[in-house]
Structure 1
Amino acid sequence: MKKIEASMAGTIWKILVEVGDEVTAGQTVIILESMKMEIPLEAAVDGKVASINAAEGDFVNDGDVLLELE
């Protein structure tokens, strides 16, 4: 499993994928909002979304696992 983690503390602004979706390396999967900036989180590798561990509006900390790819 490849984990996508929050790169900083902030709020989940938008989740762009669903469990079961195929993603490609470099594809934006989650947009995090922190300090009034939108920070796109991208898949590092191709894969299939196995789980989403946060919801839009959730506050997350740096290093929290937000999504897992298989």
Structure 2
Amino acid sequence: MKQVVATMAGNVWKIVVTVGEQVEEGQDVVILESMKMEIPIAAEASGTVQEIHVQEGDFVNEGDVLLTLE
């Protein structure tokens, strides 16, 4: 099981994947908003989205788990 974590603190602006979706390494999975900038968060490995741990509008800190891949 692999985790995708926030690389910085910010608000979850958009979740661009769904549970069960196959993602490739480097594919954007979540977009954070911080200081009026959109920061894409990419999967560090390929896999299937197992669980999404955040909702759009949530505030996350650096290192928080956004979603789990299997």
TM-score w.r.t. length of structure 1: 0.97
Give the Cα–Cα distance (whole angstroms) in 1 for the partners of residues 16 and 31 of structure 2: 8
* Backbone CA RMSD of aligned residues: 0.6
Corresponding residue for 1:33? 33
**3-state DSSP of counterpart to 1:30:** strand
Q: Percent identity?
A: 61
Deviation at 1:44, TM superposition (A): 1.1
Q: What are the superposed Cα offsets for residues 9-47 of structure 1, whole Å, 9 maximum, x if unpaired?
A: 100000000110000111100000011111100011110
Question: How many residues are matched?
Answer: 70
Match of 2:24 in 1: 24
* AA aligned opposite 1:66: L
Structure 2 unaligned residues grouped into runs of 5+: none
Cα distance in 2 for partners of 1:45, 1:14 equals: 20
| 1:10 corresponding residue in structure 2 | 10
1:68 aligned residue: 68
